[in-house]
Structure 1
Amino acid sequence: MIWISSARPGRTHDITAARYDHVLAHLRAAGLGALADLGFRGLDNDVCDPVVVTGFHASRTHKLTPGEKTANRVLAVGRAPVEHGFAHLKNWRVLAKLRTDPARATHLLRALLVLTNLEISR
């Protein structure tokens, strides 16, 4: 994981936070991309140079092709370490009773991200 969005007061969906923080512009400027789940479909509509990669969605009338199923599996493998990281944060209850303003929460989470990346690289 390389980025954490700013904390927002109340209930704010991830897509709203990403649009508010201009995440796509920052990722594109840095030459980076992001793997996302199906909840982020439609966030990045640039077909030629997508920054946010999401899986393929099946419906009753549209079954997935073998290639789309393989692409979804590859995406899931790439997203698994991040999902496990969030699971650890939830199990440790680091964020369960965080009683502070969103700006301090953002600084705390970004510090945790730096420490986690240092530990991983060690």
Structure 2
Amino acid sequence: RRAGLNIQVAADTNGGLLGISIPLPGAMHDRKSFTECGWEDLLADVPVIADPAYQGTHAITPRKKPKGGELSIGDKANNRVISSLRSAVERCIAHVKNWKILATGFRGHLAELPNVIRIVTALEFYRLGW
């Protein structure tokens, strides 16, 4: 059985696919994957909205509830705004996960997977009219 893979997906706030990273080991934390695939440096000057796993990057993330405490009313309101913006991104991620090549498990040589993902991404961009 092969271990899972971790890919980063970039989408706009309308749920449109902007990019997919190279595959990284599935056990790698999202925060480290963001750095390892080169996106942290690449997107340093761009506003990025992400889930709490990306805290410590320049990305805008929801605040976590402090240990033994509660979030302020303002933090809760900010988290709702961030979550509403991220919902379109999550739909894009769900769409990517439905691609048959990813949903059924890639059975080819792992060295070929980055090229397969690039090809499928290019086809998706073509479908979207990019």
Q: Relative contact order, CA 8 A, sep 6+: which one is greater?
A: 1
Alpha-carbon distance, 1:110 to partner: 3.8
1:47 aligned partner = none
Matched residue count: 113
Alpha-carbon distance, 1:20 to partner: 1.6
Indicate conservation of the 8 Å contact 2:31/2:55, yes or no. Answer: no
2:80 aligned partner = 73
Q: 1:45-99: per-residue Cα shift (whole Å, max 9, x none)?
A: xxxxxx3111111134331111111111111111111211222333454402212
Matched letter for residue 73 of structure 1: R
1:13 aligned partner = 29
Choose from 98, 107, 112 the match for 1:104.
Answer: 112
CA distance in 1 between partners of 2:71 and 2:26 (Å):
37
Change (3 A) 1:103 1:17: farther
Percent identity between matched residues is 27
1:48 aligned partner = none
Q: Which has the higher helix share?
A: 1
Instruction: Supply the RMSD in Å over aligned alpha carbons.
Output: 2.6
TM-score, structure 1 as length reference: 0.70
Change (3 A) 1:10 1:66: closer
Choose from 46, 50, 53 the match for 1:39.
Answer: 53
5+ residue gaps, structure 2, are 1-10, 12-17
